[in-house]
């Protein structure tokens, strides 16, 4: 069954950093550019995140995610350079079309911010097994029942995707059109999704019964199946990231 | 039997297990919309169904977890829009409880309300995050046109989101209602009963 997780198995120091530290890094990478609103800072954070992705040996796998982001950012760049409300200084003229300086820099600010957020999350997503992430969160105090909810999505979605393939084939073999005009494709939606939804809700009932029988609602302290993994210096990494955030906040207040 | 109050709820096993299924349904909706090349997202059917079945709180949690999972598996930008999903779940749950998803006509109105909620929550996010755009071709074309003519970023962004979201959410609520109507009683019972089952057999 196809996994939906984006995790890429590699040997790198990023893979050995604990998931919670990576969440700290996301907070830092988003907060610092907000506290220092300048293009240089945003650019610097972006470069650091990209270097980390490179060191994590996953940068090539992330390209597909960037594809969509870049597509939107290009339209942002075009639209803002032409129509940004604060546009004053024309830089370049192509016939009727005028390109403005303010809009261009505004679009650049947006682009750096978007790439920053996306990249810091990609560091977490591409170098962390989702099971490890959930387990770390539960160890940090997330309710184990919610831990189960998140972990089970990674199991249920691939199951539903294979059900989806089966049902599409079944409906096509009964003569249902899935290609052609928009109205034809619209009409196909309900007969396709209906059976998948129904079967998944029936599974919900069975799953609920199975969990109840196994003491899902039992009171008392839950234990872990696996020993806690040895991650690379979690406290040191977390404290230094916290320090970076704190320094940024203090600097901001003094300013 | 109806739940006592719209906000009263328990984390019963049945409603907790509903959450991953709701996320899965959202996922499948998005995939089918892609396979059929529909110009819509249709990726909140599960959230709306969860709200209809188990109330606004479970719907809201489904919405939040949905975007977390999208963020972890498709594109990280989904995290930003988690708050929109939470509100979709809340509004759909309250409307369903009040009986506003009771027939086709009402479901259209409910869909419009859910859509409007999504637009109101998403527009500030779009402005902050993308400078107002949505990434949808038709919406962004309108965005550029309004920007060129009125120079109002907020109006342009609002309309950009509106044209895409309103249609999408009306269809989502209609599809959810169609599915809900077809659900067998033994599934509905999991959520509407008082959880005191006395008989040993069905």
DSSP count for chain A of H helices, then E strands: 9, 2
| Residue in chain A nearest B12 by alpha carbon | A217
Given a cut of 70, the residues of chain B with pLDDT beneath it are 1-4, 8-10, 193-202
Count of CB pairs separated by less than 8 Å, A with B: 181
Q: Smallest CA–CA separation between A110 and chain B, in Å?
A: 6
**Cα(B34)–Cα(B57) distance, integer angstroms:** 29
DSSP letter assigned to residue B49: H
Tokens at A249, concatenated: 């906040």
Question: What ipTM was assigned to the predicted interfaces of this complex?
Answer: 0.87
**Cα(A123)–Cα(A30) distance, integer angstroms:** 13
Query: Tell me, what CATH number does B47's domain have?
Result: 1.10.1760.20
Q: Which residues contact B17 (CB under 8 A, 6 or more apart)?
A: A149, A152, A204, A207, A208, A211
B5 within domain boundaries:
no
In angstroms, how far is the first alpha carbon of chain A from the final one? 54
Residue in B20, B68, B78, B138 to test binding to A, most A beta-carbons within 10 Å? B20
Instruction: Say whether B24 and A156 touch across the interface (CB within 8 A).
Output: yes
**Cα(B139)–Cα(B161) distance, integer angstroms:** 7
**Domain tally, chain B:** 1
B37 within domain boundaries:
yes
B102 within domain boundaries:
yes
Report the pLDDT value the prediction gives residue B194, as an integer from 0 to 100. Answer: 56
Q: Which structural domain, as residue segments, surrounds residue B38?
A: 13-192
Residue A17 scores a pLDDT above 50: yes
The 3-state DSSP class for residue B38 equals: coil
Contacts of B18 in chain A (CB under 8 A): 201, 204
The 3-state DSSP class for residue A188 equals: helix
Q: Answer with the residue of higher pLDDT: B83 or A36.
A: B83
Per-residue model confidence as pLDDT tens digits over B99-118: 989 899 999 999 999 999 99
Residue in B12, B14, B18, B21 to test binding to A, most A beta-carbons within 10 Å? B21
Per-residue model confidence as pLDDT tens digits over A93-110: 888 888 999 999 999 999
Q: Is A99 on the interface with B (CB under 8 A)?
A: no
What Å distances lie between residue B165 and B27, B103, B136, CA to CA? 17, 22, 10
DSSP count for chain B of H helices, then E strands: 8, 0
Mean pLDDT calculated for residue range A187-216: 91
Q: Can you give the residue ranges of every domain in chain A? A: 13-128+230-254, 136-213
- State the pTM of this model: 0.89
Residue A121 scores a pLDDT above 60: yes
Per-residue model confidence as pLDDT tens digits over A122-139: 999 999 998 999 999 999
B4 within domain boundaries:
no
Rg (CA), chain A: 24
Mean pLDDT calculated for residue range A220-227: 86
B138 within domain boundaries:
yes
């Amino acid at each position: 069954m196809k996994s939906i997780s984006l995790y890429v198995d590699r040997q790198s120091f990023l893979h050995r950093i604990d998931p919670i530290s990576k969440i700290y890094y996301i907070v830092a990478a988003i907060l610092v550019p907000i506290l220092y609103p300048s293009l240089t800072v945003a650019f610097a954070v972006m470069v650091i995140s990209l270097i980390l992705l490179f060191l994590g040996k996953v940068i090539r796998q992330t390209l597909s995610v960037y594809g969509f982001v870049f597509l939107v950012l290009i339209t942002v760049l075009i639209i803002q350079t032409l129509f940004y409300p604060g546009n004053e200084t024309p830089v370049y003229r192509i016939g009727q079309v005028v390109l403005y300086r303010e809009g261009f820099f505004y679009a650049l600010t947006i682009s750096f911010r978007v790439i920053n957020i996306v990249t810091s999350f990609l560091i977490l997503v591409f170098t962390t097994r989702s099971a490890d992430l959930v387990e770390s969160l539960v160890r940090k105090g997330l309710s184990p029942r919610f831990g189960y909810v998140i972990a089970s999505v990674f199991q249920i979605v691939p199951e539903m995707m294979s059900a989806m393939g089966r049902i599409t084939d079944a409906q096509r073999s009964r003569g249902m059109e899935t290609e052609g005009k928009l109205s034809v494709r619209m009409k196909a939606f309900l007969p396709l999704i209906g059976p998948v939804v129904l079967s998944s809700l029936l599974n919900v009932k069975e799953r609920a019964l199975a969990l109840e029988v196994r003491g899902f609602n039992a009171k008392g302290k839950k234990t872990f199946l696996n020993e806690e993994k040895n991650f690379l210096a979690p406290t040191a990494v977390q404290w230094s990231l916290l320090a970076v955030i704190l320094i940024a906040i203090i600097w901001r207040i003094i300013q | 039997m109806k739940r006592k109050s719209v906000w009263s709820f328990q984390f019963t096993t049945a409603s907790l297990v509903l959450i991953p299924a709701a996320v899965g349904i959202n996922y499948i909706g998005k995939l089918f919309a892609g396979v059929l090349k529909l110009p819509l997202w249709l990726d909140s059917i599960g959230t709306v169904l969860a709200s209809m079945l188990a109330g606004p709180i479970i719907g809201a949690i489904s919405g939040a977890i949905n975007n977390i999972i999208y963020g972890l598996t498709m594109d990280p930008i989904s995290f930003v829009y988690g708050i929109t999903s939470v509100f979709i779940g809340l509004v759909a749950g309250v409307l369903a409880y009040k009986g506003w998803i009771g027939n086709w006509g009402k479901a259209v109105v409910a869909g419009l309300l859910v859509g409007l909620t999504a637009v109101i929550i998403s527009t500030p996010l779009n402005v902050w995050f993308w400078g107002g755009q949505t990434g949808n071709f038709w919406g962004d074309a309108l965005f550029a046109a309004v920007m060129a003519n009125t120079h109002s970023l907020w109006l342009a962004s609002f309309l950009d989101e509106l044209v895409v979201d309103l249609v999408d959410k009306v269809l989502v609520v209609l599809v959810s209602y169609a599915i809900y109507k077809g659900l067998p009683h033994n599934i509905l019972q999991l959520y509407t009963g008082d959880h005191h089952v006395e008989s040993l057999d069905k």
